[in-house]
Amino acid sequence: MPHVNVKFFPKEVSEEQKRGLAESITAALIEHLGTRDGAVSISLEPVEKDVWNDTVVQPEIAGRPDLLIKRPDYL
């Protein structure tokens, strides 16, 4: 605990970028949730633009507004 799943439109992400992203997210979780480095897991999940609304927006954003801590400006 915790696990973070980052969904995004497919694009090339280098190993260096992945490492930097993981380090930044992990640091934020340690600071704000008081967790430890070894307890954090993070995944990157590319989602095609043509299915974004059906697989991300509807079930996870619009369908669960009570869980959002930051709302996108496209809704």
- Which residues are part of the catalytic machinery? 2
CA-based R_g, the chain, Å: 14
